[in-house]
A and B are shown apart, each in its own frame.
Chain A
């Protein structure tokens, strides 16, 4: 859905939501993150609802990807990272000592900026997560693989070559394989880190359509440096700058009536 740009102002095409407010799924409370002693995130507080699309926008290096990676604890992979504050999903503090990170990641999936399909067949890529969880019967695997590929709007394109290598597909198709792979294990939340930044406009449009469709079943958080994209597909938008959350509101408000001056300057393109 294209957005109209009038006089430097982006008017989002997404109407303000009229559905009843769904419960808050993810709550971030005074979250700060340090690489050693250097702060990367400063005192972030926000809450996100179920089955909505939330966009994180802001100039490069402002911490949006870092925050995204907190939700599935991918930052644990970096030695020097230190966290303060709270992050709860469905009422559970995901950083408490008794949380099984592996289980967490099965519920909170991720799609990366650069598509990273395994050097296996398309079928095996999507079945990977399923096999990890013990699904073995061929009929079950095939059913779920088909369902995921349909949801990812890729089924018609690859149904005849499921057993060819995933690396033989185009960039946009590979990214959709990664999306299908992520949704195959039925997470509750899907984190997307600039999923379309490496793709051409047509592939990008397909992915955006996909996200609007996936919204019906999954809670989606998407990091993007493309403001128009945020305006097109998200319900809520959070604007970050240098590690702090500057403003968080519904997308319509952020783009038509931002409360903070900095936000207005960013969305109207005065810096970034």
Chain B
């Protein structure tokens, strides 16, 4: 059957019995490698959570102590301490401890005694301000006449209450959602259902061009232009505040919400619209009563994504929100969000110190919140889809 001059390599016999799949070992290996590399996405999510939480671990477990009043050991008793106890007392790593000599350690102990004398004369100095009690609930600090929530890491008695930050994030996000989502959804309905198809070709990319503007540029625009504009319009006191930041944030989320909602609306089969029109509905009735409900899963997903994006956005709020970490529900007050706090303060912290760890802590919190909202969004979208298909 095969001639002698056939240049193709053929195995002996008609069908080349070669142990089936194992006939191609290189392929088999390559396919296993492809699978392993594809798992990297999962690995990354896992690593992000682990290594961000790792830096915050001592605070998360309640083992950190920021109290300024500590038991002080006199220098004479240095030799009575075991090496391990001495290490812990002086806050040294094993490597550092090994490199040190007696004299240096003696002077370190003296420094500690000096430092203990400089503790501020404040009843709060003995408090462990990084315990959960003070992170999450208001407390009446020295100098205040009622319990307050304060974020003031740079102070004699550092205060790490995260409530002001959370309120700040919520305010800005709320403004962004109220401003951005209706605009984006309205535009999506118009471009997808109501405008003539030939306009869709340039309207859609036109709006998506907004996505090409980096958030730092939006923040810059808000800082320089929007802030003055709105202050002139509304006449409030603080030039940079939650409102300005919220509007800029809204601009940042419009492309995301628009893209996904528009795709969802356009994928609704044309036959639905045509059936409605054939029954005498006007274009807007068809869009509002038939297409929008059919596209609900996608539209809802768009809103959830918009929320996640707004909560997680950093540069816009960092530049436009004013960065005053106070508890206030007024939109016109300068405010501080979780993201801006991390961005602004991390560079100034001592590596491994309490402030550093708390910033990683709120970072972990942020990650968990966006993770959960994404996940919940996915679940709800899934159920909405199933309900549409009549399977629930």
C-alpha gap A89/B16 in the complex (Å): 12
Taking the complex as formed, is B278 at the interface, i.e. its CB lies under 8 A from any CB of chain A? Answer: no
Taking the complex as formed, is A185 at the interface, i.e. its CB lies under 8 A from any CB of chain B? Answer: yes
Taking the complex as formed, is A97 at the interface, i.e. its CB lies under 8 A from any CB of chain B? Answer: yes
Question: 1/0 contact trace for A229-271 toward B, CB 8 Å?
Answer: 0000000000000000000000000000000000000000000
C-alpha gap A137/B17 in the complex (Å): 28
Task: Assess whether A107 is in contact with B14, with CB atoms less than 8 Å apart.
Answer: yes
Taking the complex as formed, is A99 at the interface, i.e. its CB lies under 8 A from any CB of chain B? Answer: yes
- B11 contacts which chain A residues (CB < 8 A)? 103
Taking the complex as formed, is B80 at the interface, i.e. its CB lies under 8 A from any CB of chain A? Answer: no
- Nearest CB in chain B: distance from A128 CB, A: 13
The bracket for how many chain A residues form the interface is 20 to 34
Q: Which residue of B lies closest to A130 (CB)?
A: B8
Q: Known contacts being A97-B20, A98-B20, is A92 close to B6, with CB within 8 Å?
A: no
Give the residues from 19 to 74 in chain B that come closer than 8 angstroms, CB to CB, to chain A: 19-20, 23-24
Which of B6, B9, B17, B19 contacts A186, CB < 8 Å? B6
Q: Known contacts being A107-B14, A186-B2, A188-B1, is A100 close to B7, with CB within 8 Å?
A: no
Chain A CB within 10 A, most for which of B6, B11, B16, B23: B16
C-alpha gap A232/B335 in the complex (Å): 85
C-alpha gap A258/B18 in the complex (Å): 44
- B14 contacts which chain A residues (CB < 8 A)? 89-92, 107, 188
Taking the complex as formed, is B15 at the interface, i.e. its CB lies under 8 A from any CB of chain A? Answer: yes
C-alpha gap A103/B19 in the complex (Å): 12
Task: Assess whether B15 is in contact with A89, with CB atoms less than 8 Å apart.
Answer: yes
Chain A CB within 10 A, most for which of B10, B15, B18: B15
Q: Which residue of A lies closest to B24 (CB)?
A: A102
- B24 contacts which chain A residues (CB < 8 A)? 100, 102
Task: Assess whether B6 is in contact with A134, with CB atoms less than 8 Å apart.
Answer: no
Main secondary structure of the interface of B (DSSP, over half): loop
- Nearest CB in chain A: distance from B380 CB, A: 29
- B15 contacts which chain A residues (CB < 8 A)? 89-90, 92, 94, 99-100, 103-104, 107
Which of A90, A94, A135 contacts B8, CB < 8 Å? A135
Taking the complex as formed, is A164 at the interface, i.e. its CB lies under 8 A from any CB of chain B? Answer: no
Q: Which residue of A lies closest to B6 (CB)?
A: A186
Q: Known contacts being A89-B14, A92-B14, is A98 close to B19, with CB within 8 Å?
A: yes
Which of A91, A94, A98 contacts B18, CB < 8 Å? A98
Q: Which residue of B lies closest to A50 (CB)?
A: B1
- B23 contacts which chain A residues (CB < 8 A)? 100, 102-103
Q: Which residue of B lies closest to A90 (CB)?
A: B14
Main secondary structure of the interface of A (DSSP, over half): loop
Which of A97, A100, A134 contacts B9, CB < 8 Å? A134
Task: Assess whether B8 is in contact with A185, with CB atoms less than 8 Å apart.
Answer: yes
- How many B residues, CB 8 Å from partner? 17
Task: Assess whether B16 is in contact with A100, with CB atoms less than 8 Å apart.
Answer: yes
- B20 contacts which chain A residues (CB < 8 A)? 97-101
C-alpha gap A129/B6 in the complex (Å): 14
C-alpha gap A130/B20 in the complex (Å): 22
Task: Assess whether A133 is in contact with B18, with CB atoms less than 8 Å apart.
Answer: no
Taking the complex as formed, is A140 at the interface, i.e. its CB lies under 8 A from any CB of chain B? Answer: yes
Task: Assess whether A140 is in contact with B7, with CB atoms less than 8 Å apart.
Answer: yes
Give the residues from 264 to 315 in chain B that come closer than 8 angstroms, CB to CB, to chain A: none
Task: Assess whether B8 is in contact with A134, with CB atoms less than 8 Å apart.
Answer: yes
Q: Which residue of A lies closest to B19 (CB)?
A: A98
Task: Assess whether A186 is in contact with B8, with CB atoms less than 8 Å apart.
Answer: yes
- Nearest CB in chain A: distance from B135 CB, A: 52
- Nearest CB in chain A: distance from B10 CB, A: 8
- B2 contacts which chain A residues (CB < 8 A)? 186
- A94 contacts which chain B residues (CB < 8 A)? 15
Give the residues from 148 to 205 in chain B that come closer than 8 angstroms, CB to CB, to chain A: none
Task: Assess whether B1 is in contact with A133, with CB atoms less than 8 Å apart.
Answer: no
- Nearest CB in chain A: distance from B339 CB, A: 45
Task: Assess whether B18 is in contact with A103, with CB atoms less than 8 Å apart.
Answer: yes
- A186 contacts which chain B residues (CB < 8 A)? 2, 6, 8
Chain B CB within 10 A, most for which of A99, A104, A134: A99
C-alpha gap A44/B23 in the complex (Å): 31
C-alpha gap A97/B58 in the complex (Å): 57
Q: Which residue of B lies closest to A97 (CB)?
A: B20
Question: 1/0 contact trace for A81-116 toward B, CB 8 Å?
Answer: 000000001111010011111111011000000000
Q: Which residue of B lies closest to A101 (CB)?
A: B20
C-alpha gap A90/B13 in the complex (Å): 10
- Nearest CB in chain A: distance from B20 CB, A: 5
Give the residues from 92 to 117 in chain B that come closer than 8 angstroms, CB to CB, to chain A: none
Q: Which residue of B lies closest to A140 (CB)?
A: B7
- Nearest CB in chain A: distance from B184 CB, A: 38
Q: Which residue of A lies closest to B17 (CB)?
A: A98
C-alpha gap A140/B7 in the complex (Å): 8
- A133 contacts which chain B residues (CB < 8 A)? 8-9
C-alpha gap A124/B62 in the complex (Å): 68
- Nearest CB in chain B: distance from A100 CB, A: 4
- Nearest CB in chain A: distance from B278 CB, A: 31
- Nearest CB in chain A: distance from B155 CB, A: 64
- B6 contacts which chain A residues (CB < 8 A)? 186
- B19 contacts which chain A residues (CB < 8 A)? 98, 100
Q: Known contacts being A186-B2, A188-B1, is A99 close to B17, with CB within 8 Å?
A: yes
Question: 1/0 contact trace for A133-162 toward B, CB 8 Å?
Answer: 111010010001000000000000000000
Q: Which residue of B lies closest to A136 (CB)?
A: B7
- Nearest CB in chain A: distance from B301 CB, A: 28
The 11 sampled A-B contact pairs (Cβ below 8 Å) are A90-B14, A97-B20, A98-B19, A100-B15, A100-B23, A103-B11, A103-B23, A107-B15, A133-B8, A137-B7, A188-B14
A residues near B (Cβ < 8 Å) are 89-92, 94, 97-104, 106-107, 130, 133-135, 137, 140, 144, 185-186, 188
List the 7 closest pairs (A to B, CB-CB), nearest first: A103-B16, A100-B23, A133-B8, A90-B14, A100-B18, A92-B15, A140-B7
